[in-house]
Amino acid sequence: MFNPYLPYPVRIKEVRVETEDKSLKSFWLEFMKPEDAEAFKYTPGQFAELSVSGYGEIPIGIASSPTEGKDLLFTVNKVGCVTSKLHNMQAGEVMGVRGPLGNHYPFDRMEGKDIVIVAGGFAVTTLRSTVVYMLHPDNRDRFGKITFIYGARTPGMLLYENEWSEWQKRDDIDCHITVDQEFPGWEGLVGFVPTVTEQVAPKPDNAIALICGPPIMIRFTQPVFDKLGWQPEQIVMSLENRMKCGIGICGRCNVGPEYVCKDGPVFTKAQLDQMPKEY
């Protein structure tokens, strides 16, 4: 019988330090068994439980796009027991991946619409997956104009520079990469994400916005969208919470009646407005 608690064995293929303070590292993982790679079919927005035997599991958004092949990319912040161990692991070491878990971004609803992505800090991980997916030749035609607004505290804290520096050169995506304050050597935008969003002023007509970031960014970005006339059903967000089982049983990650691991992590603002504010 299928066991949803059993992780697929994977090997770390590559480790990359993403931020200047070394608090974030990216891990490319390859499946040790081809049948597991086949079984792991995911859509951007979903997450997986990364398993480190002897330490535990952590729920991390999938940063790679399914269009990039069978290997998976995760970007992990060093916070506690499991992530500290993971940060000390190297290419070649064995760990586990369980998933894909949760719901994904609503690509059905997003078809034919303009997509506005607003990302702050390292919440950009699943949005990397989303943008890579949408820009793929097989998918690009399904969507209208794509606007990508992404900010971090300093240039050294921006993730995925290899990717967004390429996106900036394309004409089928509008990129606005910003840092909070002036920084020597930085030639790009300067300003908090909410401020830049206000300047870009994305129109709500036939559009969907994917917003992901720390609570403070959300708090100041939401009014910008309100003022521009966006409706709650058009705004899509992603929650995170402490998790264990990841499949909607153990009772830990719920926000009101919804389990973030199973009914989420993707929720529209319209849904969130009906849920208790316990996140």
Residues 104-143 interacting with other proteins (rule: CB under 8 A): none
Nearer to other proteins (CB atom), residue 55 or residue 220: 55
Q: Return the structure tokens found at 82.
A: 């499991």
91 binds other proteins (CB under 8 A): no
Nearer to other proteins, 181 or 270 (CB): 270
Residues from 30 through 59 that contact other proteins (CB under 8 A): 32, 51, 53-57
Contact 117, 173 (CB under 8 A): no
Contact 240/58 with Cβ under 8 angstroms? Answer: no
E-state strands within the chain: 8-17, 24-31, 47-52, 56-61, 72-77, 94-101, 114-120, 146-152, 174-179, 189-190, 207-212, 235-238, 254-255, 258-259, 266-268
Q: How far is the CB of 38 from other proteins (least distance, A)?
A: 16
Regarding 17 and contact with other proteins (CB under 8 A), the answer is no
Q: Does 189 bind other proteins (CB under 8 A)?
A: no
Q: Does 252 bind other proteins (CB under 8 A)?
A: yes
Cβ(253)–Cβ(259) under 8 Å? yes
What is the x/- site pattern for other proteins, positions 65-84, by CB under 8 A?
--------------xx--x-
Name the residue type at position 32.
Answer: M
Q: Assess 276 for contact with other proteins (CB under 8 A).
A: yes
- Euclidean distance between CA atoms 236 and 188, whole angstroms: 27
Say how far apart CA 223 and CA 225 lie, in whole Å: 5
Q: Nearest approach, Cβ of 88 to other proteins (angstroms)?
A: 12
First to last CA, the chain: 35
53 or 181: whose CB is closer to other proteins? Answer: 53
Q: In the complex with other proteins, which residue's Cβ is closer, 76 or 149?
A: 76
Name the residues that contact other proteins, by CB under 8 A.
Answer: 1-7, 9, 32, 51, 53-57, 79-80, 83, 93-96, 241-242, 244-245, 247-257, 262, 274-276, 278-279
